[in-house]
Amino acid sequence: MLKDRYGNAASTKSEAAVARYNEALDLIRVYRGDPIAALDAALEEDPEFGGAWAARAGLLVTATDKAYGEETAKSLRAGAAANLNERDSALLKGAQDWAEGRYADGTARFARVAQENPRDVLALQYAHVGCFFLGLQSELRDWPLQAMRAFKSSEDGYSYILGMAAFGLEECGDYARADIYGRQAVEIDPRDGWAVHAVAHVNEMRGDLDTGIPWLADSAHQWAPDSGFAYHNWWHLGLLYLDRGDIAEVLKLFDEKVRPNPDQQVLMEWLDASAMLWRLKLEGVDTGDRFATLAVCWERAGEDAFYAFNDLHAIMAFLGAGRMADAERTLKAMRQAAADGGDNGYMTRKVGLPLAEAFVAFEAGRYGECVEKIASVRGIAQRFGGSHAQRDVLSLTALHAALRGGFAQTAEAFAAERLAHKPQSPWAGRLARQARELRVKEHAA
């Protein structure tokens, strides 16, 4: 029986297909190159290789982009008719759950495969990504920790589990261990952009610019080339420069690294672009025509109501571009989604929609409403996914709404919280000063 690079049974008798599949596994774990092309090469060698179809379906569904629906359906159909072992079959079912909007069920299936087959790094990665989109913070940490039992530290695969564990530890607030695990993983494979990212999050959460900027900037030659994830690590570097107040560097990174091709049809890039431009807008920075260019990209997904986290970022782009009618169209689609059952319905109802309304209120100058709506859901906002660093845009928007609306105590409260978490952060210091000045001004009036 042929086995994949981690020692899991492969559902093919073609050695050439397994070789191509193993290449795909390498690309997937480091978010490099074109893993779909590598899987297609494996399937060219053996079109009945069910494991390759399951991997393909899993990769497509976890991109959270409705545009991949047809390719996903093709993979699911072909996979169901191919040779499947028990593990492949469960993975394929997990992808099917995702494709049909049962994100939690799909993620749980991926995780069960990883639990039962702790050397299945691919299943673990799909579960990990699923946890990220669902905001399952403990599981982000614990499923990789469970899988570590099956690997010696010298074995192929171990470092990627370390990298996943590092990110989970960070999201659970265990920054010290996250930093150690992430750095160990990067030492073993410096191409591992996910492990680099875990440490970048540690630095972001600590507001540690002096460690965070060189951590990303000095290692980029190793994690950035040919990476499908590099834009997000560049986004993190941009956040640190924004914290420092170096707007020129933020815009340079945005133009050259986060959005090097403004027409690029990669939804996850649009998320980071929206998130960065919105932060700049809050800070009063003139971002030129960048919002307008980005809003054109979001047009095709603005009414997808596929994943609430994405919808909020579409709203940010539309509002920033002054396209109120498009923001309203997305809001309408979200209101319809909120009435649905299913996981996105829940995420939209509980988190996405109130936040979208809050951001629209901000743009309309209804700052009190904005603060109230964000404050009412901020404590459960992880339920619509993303990381603490990404969801920080909620706290920032609430704080800026309080500043603009003249709610001095509210602004000071948000600013104090920020400074307590990030005592080294110049940005936190600037916001705290602005809030204090507002209170002093109010007191004098």
For 158, half-sphere exposure in the C-beta direction (CA atoms, 13 angstrom radius) is 12
CA distances to 19, 62, 434, 444 from 441, in Å: 69, 49, 10, 5
Nearer to Fe ion, 117 or 203 (CB): 203
**Phi, psi (degrees; rounded to nearest 5) at 413:** -65, -50
Nearer to Fe ion, 387 or 410 (CB): 387
Tally: H helices and E strands in the chain: 25, 0
- Per-residue contact track with Fe ion, 333 to 372, x per CB under 5 A? ----------------------------------------
Measured from each CB, the residue nearest to Fe ion is: 387
Type of residue found at 59: L
Nearer to Fe ion, 137 or 387 (CB): 387
Q: Residue 382: count other Cβ atoms within 10 Å of its Cβ.
A: 17
- Per-residue contact track with Fe ion, 158 to 197, x per CB under 5 A? ----------------------------------------
Nearer to Fe ion, 344 or 387 (CB): 387
Whole-angstrom Cα distance, residue 9 to residue 90?
14
CA distances to 28, 32, 34 from 37, in Å: 11, 12, 5
Smallest distance from the beta carbon of 271 to Fe ion, in angstroms? 10
Whole-angstrom Cα distance, residue 294 to residue 334?
20
CA distances to 116, 341, 343 from 51, in Å: 16, 31, 27
Smallest distance from the beta carbon of 387 to Fe ion, in angstroms? 5
Nearer to Fe ion, 72 or 387 (CB): 387
Smallest distance from the beta carbon of 389 to Fe ion, in angstroms? 5
CA distances to 105, 179, 197, 422 from 215, in Å: 36, 11, 10, 18
Smallest distance from the beta carbon of 348 to Fe ion, in angstroms? 22
- Per-residue contact track with Fe ion, 372 to 401, x per CB under 5 A? ---------------x--------------
Nearer to Fe ion, 373 or 388 (CB): 388
Nearer to Fe ion, 326 or 392 (CB): 392
Smallest distance from the beta carbon of 219 to Fe ion, in angstroms? 16
Nearest Cα to 159, choosing from 133, 138, 190, 199? Answer: 190
Span 123-152, contacts to Fe ion by CB under 5 A? none
Nearer to Fe ion, 259 or 373 (CB): 259
Q: Residue 221: count other Cβ atoms within 10 Å of its Cβ.
A: 9
Longest CA–CA span in the chain (Å) reads 81
Whole-angstrom Cα distance, residue 320 to residue 363?
8
Smallest distance from the beta carbon of 388 to Fe ion, in angstroms? 9
Smallest distance from the beta carbon of 117 to Fe ion, in angstroms? 28
Smallest distance from the beta carbon of 306 to Fe ion, in angstroms? 21
Nearer to Fe ion, 236 or 323 (CB): 236
Size of the site for Fe ion (CB under 5 A): 1
Return the SS3 of 3: strand
Smallest distance from the beta carbon of 207 to Fe ion, in angstroms? 15
Smallest distance from the beta carbon of 201 to Fe ion, in angstroms? 6
CA distances to 295, 304, 311, 397 from 335, in Å: 20, 12, 11, 22
Nearer to Fe ion, 384 or 407 (CB): 384
Q: Which residues bind Fe ion (CB under 5 A)?
A: 387
